[in-house]
Amino acid sequence: MRAVFAGTVVADTTRPLLVWEVPYYPTYYFPRADVRTDLIAPSERTQHSPSRGDGRLGTLRVGEREAPDAVLEYAESPIEELRDHVRLDWAAMDAWFEEDEEVFTHPRDPHVRVDILASSRHVRVEVAGVTVAESRRPTVLFETGLPPRYYLPKLDVRLDLLEHTDTVTHCPYKGAAEYWSVRAGDEVVTDLAWSYRTPLPESEKITGLVAFPHEKADVYVDGSLLR
């Protein structure tokens, strides 16, 4: 695992810790010996965690660039494994790598799996009673902890009802998604549909396909409405 800042590899390790500070995805902690500590300027500022204790913040400096409070160490943490480890702020770094592949958005959860399967199910999407997509050749994406998503070919979507927006979201398993609002009669549902124009390699099967979440649209699969 490597972290890059200002063109410099500031941390490089084969023994990172994965720490769940939030329930959704982990955070990387690097052994101090595998971090360029000569680039860290400690501060008097601290950050308290009910579980991890009091952490000391630091500024990362490389040449003329600096990232204030981008470094956090729990030298006296009640969690022994965290002592002598360094946490680097994800957003403050310029790039992160697992082996030689760049990781985007946040660290990947090793317990999350993505499976993408071709299907012949009949999928129909309605918005305000208007059919905006219908397909018998969907691609189904299964992602741990999330409901199945049905991705449809654009030829099976009423593109005349879609209005492209400036919204972009990022996923460490799929990449960057673009969005469309859907106009059905007098109703407009903002950012209803999304697509991955250039997904990450493990998700290439959904390239250019369009998904409609059943939380915001009426999605029927083989005639049954998804709840």
Point out the domain boundary residue: 103, 126, 157.
103
pLDDT at 178: 98
pLDDT at 68: 96
Same domain, 218 and 124: yes
- For the chain, the domain total comes to 2
CA distance 66 to 39: 9
Q: Which residue has the tokens 């673009």?
A: 178
* pLDDT tens profile 56-72: 999 999 999 999 999 99
Same domain, 99 and 118: no
pLDDT at 220: 98
* pLDDT tens profile 16-55: 999 999 988 999 999 999 999 999 998 989 999 999 999 9
Same domain, 52 and 130: no
Same domain, 170 and 190: yes
Point out the domain boundary residue: 103, 122, 143.
103
Same domain, 122 and 218: yes
109 is a domain residue: no
72 is a domain residue: yes
- What pTM was estimated for this model as a whole? 0.83
Domain that holds residue 22: 2-103
Same domain, 94 and 13: yes
191 is a domain residue: yes
* pLDDT tens profile 99-122: 999 999 999 999 999 999 999 999
Same domain, 75 and 159: no
State the average pLDDT over residues 125-150: 96
Structure tokens at 23: 């329930």
Q: What is the amino acid identity at position 45?
A: R
pLDDT at 51: 94
Same domain, 121 and 204: yes
Same domain, 198 and 120: yes
Same domain, 136 and 89: no
Which residues have a Cβ under 8 Å from the Cβ of 80 and sit 6 or more positions away?
none
Point out the domain boundary residue: 72, 103, 134.
103
pLDDT at 186: 87
Residue 94: which pLDDT band, with cuts at 50, 70 and 90?
very high
Write the CATH number for 74. 2.170.150.40
Same domain, 70 and 152: no
* pLDDT tens profile 150-188: 999 999 999 999 999 999 999 999 999 999 999 998 889
